[in-house]
A and B are shown apart, each in its own frame.
Chain A
Amino acid sequence: MARVLLFGPLRDLAGWRERQGVDAASISALKALLAGEDARLGAALSGPGVQVALDQAIVKGDRPLAADAEVAFLPPMSGG
């Protein structure tokens, strides 16, 4: 049951910042699940420059999700 976090413009697009208890076995399955609920968000999660952090470390490509995984979708960072 993953915890999912959205930041920056993704948060505004989705209308939520955090969800708990999302049932997905992998990052690709999680993206498909979110895209099924909200097609615009689904497209944005795979948009240019969006990085994925799994348990606070950037990952490339697909990864399996442990029961207590934290997945964050990070749009291009703006700096401070």
Chain B
Amino acid sequence: MTTVLCDFCFDPGALLSEFCRGRTEVGAVATFTGLARAEAGDTTILELEAYPGFTEAEIGKIADQARTRFSLDDLMIRHRVGKIAPGEPIVFVATAARHRRAAFEACDFLMDYLKSRAPFWKKEHGPGGERWIEPRAEDHADAARWDKESL
């Protein structure tokens, strides 16, 4: 398992190819790629700040939960930090399991955590200035689904 923060643009296709390579028993790989939105011109740059070391460790704890809960063979998380232009990938998650349902659900679980509770601080820069962003109520509700559900 790798959780990597990077401050440069990455290629989700290349990460997927790398993640799939050499697997003969996995059966299912699910991925999610999040892209920065322009918000109709309101956002020219999205800036993400992490606490190096701490952020990776906290994400690692959830990744371990996902691995156990969904019996994953492997997973990969790549997350941008720093300044991100609209259209660039922010996050890439890949999950590998024997069958598709576990791979899909683990990917969904990881993204709900990453979007609502992961240790990042997010600022939008635009023509109207800059502002810090908090998670939407919907992001919290999405993450809370997994607290109630049992497989």
Contact = CB atoms under 8 A, between A and B. Distances in A.
Nearest to A8: B121
Contact of B119 (A5, A11, A12, A74): A74
A7 B114 CA distance: 18
B27 interface: no
A7 B81 CA distance: 13
B37 to A, nearest CB: 13
A53 B54 contact: yes
A80 B79 contact: yes
Give the secondary structure class of A's interface: loop
Interface residues of B, number: 26
Most buried by B among A5, A8, A9, A77: A77
A34 to B, nearest CB: 18
Interface of B: 34, 48-49, 51, 53-54, 57, 79-80, 90-91, 114-123, 132-135, 139
Interface of A: 5, 7-9, 11-12, 53, 56, 72, 74-80
17 contacts: A5-B51, A7-B51, A53-B54, A56-B54, A56-B57, A74-B51, A74-B119, A76-B134, A77-B119, A78-B135, A79-B115, A79-B139, A80-B34, A80-B79, A80-B114, A80-B115, A80-B118
